[in-house]
Structure 1
């Protein structure tokens, strides 16, 4: 039986999770671990992006960008590997700067930080973000001269917006939450597979 490990962070927000269970950030990454061995290789990242509906060029670019950028951070004790593996258990070490703070330093979901995004930036619709509001969010989170962090945040949010905006050009709050708690990718892959069969 798992023990609840929910606790408050420095900002007063509740972080969720149980001892022995993957963190929200690990769940976010585990979708791409195709063979479930705890390691994500570039070809798995590619397959994961294809499974959620990305084209070949974007999937190749994402695999290169993500694995080349995160591999060494999650394997700091093991050294460089030409296969650029990402170790899921250490993904918290690859958390980039200039981010939203929705994941804490342990990779747990911080509800107060999530809600803060929509309180501050969702002006057109309280439960969604427009493209401009998303740009405002990215600008607000930038740390000075943190170019790598800016690029990482921009890439993540823009890909999410392109893939998940609705017909009105809005990125729904429930979709954003689903990407952070790790459930969105599985849902998108199932929907794509279902549409193929249809």
Structure 2
């Protein structure tokens, strides 16, 4: 929850001597010029405190209140955004995702049997153990949502923090840095994103990020090759999974 600011503080004029202009690029360091971070205009504060992580809403510049359709934000106010991302695959909503739950979930959103099986092996083979409460691995490779924040890995966008919250600045940076401010990503933008976010000596994180973005592209499968910003935001809080599943069910 954001800390409220007193009205008297808001009305005070900004002392520019104490708040110098933000320097986000240096001409002599080319990468800082090529990858400009998201910067909200001073006169447009629709998304205040962009760097502050939101616990239960995927807030962006275009959707500062997160997903409001169907009462999503209200219904999920007691779950972190990362938990919301995983909720679709928890078929009985008991906080535990079994391998068969993941298989059925991927199949419902349009993946074939082979890709659904591959997803199960990758996800549960890598993400089950960090979520167990003890030292011994789970014999059924289940994923426990109460500890799913422990599955945070490196070489990703940083949009989820290590507690499973959503950081608007990091999400907006993806489009500012790798899409020149456009509201969509192409597969080539994703290629540059994966290369730009890759951390040294992080094979697990690098592969995890690769798998997640390729799965996202295959799931959305845009006819024009453009993954829209709002659809990607829906992946982060999981709301789009239900939309895709309903769409696939209607097609059948």
**One fold, TM greater than 0.5?**
yes
Q: Is the 8 A contact 1:6 1:17 kept in 2?
A: no
Residue 109 (structure 1) aligns with: 166
Residue 236 (structure 2) aligns with: 180
The alignment covers a number of residue pairs equal to 188
* Partner deviation per Cα, 1:48-76 (whole Å, 9 max, x = no partner): 00010000000001011101111110004
Q: Does 1:159 align with 2:215?
A: yes
Structure 1: state its 5+ residue gaps. none
Of structures 1 and 2, the larger Rg is shown by 2
CA distance in 2, matches of 1:20, 1:131: 33
RMSD of the TM alignment (CA)? 1.8
Q: How does 1:91-110 map onto structure 2 within 5 Å?
A: 91-110=148-167
* Partner deviation per Cα, 1:116-154 (whole Å, 9 max, x = no partner): 10011114x701111111000011111012011110000
What is the TM-score when the length of structure 1 is the normalising length? 0.89
Structure 2: state its 5+ residue gaps. 4-48, 57-75
Q: Is the 8 A contact 1:6 1:15 kept in 2?
A: no
What is the TM-score when the length of structure 2 is the normalising length? 0.71
Q: Does 1:16 align with 2:54?
A: yes
Residue 141 (structure 1) aligns with: 197
Deviation at 1:113, TM superposition (A): 0.6
- CA 1:12 to 1:169, structure 2 compared with 1: closer, same or farther past 3 Å? closer
CA distance in 2, matches of 1:75, 1:92: 11
Residue 69 (structure 1) aligns with: 126
CA distance in 2, matches of 1:176, 1:136: 17
Which of these residues, 39, 58, 81, is aligned with residue 115 of structure 2? 58
CA distance in 2, matches of 1:154, 1:17: 25
- CA 1:74 to 1:15, structure 2 compared with 1: closer, same or farther past 3 Å? same
CA distance in 1, matches of 2:250, 2:54: 32
Deviation at 1:17, TM superposition (A): 3.1
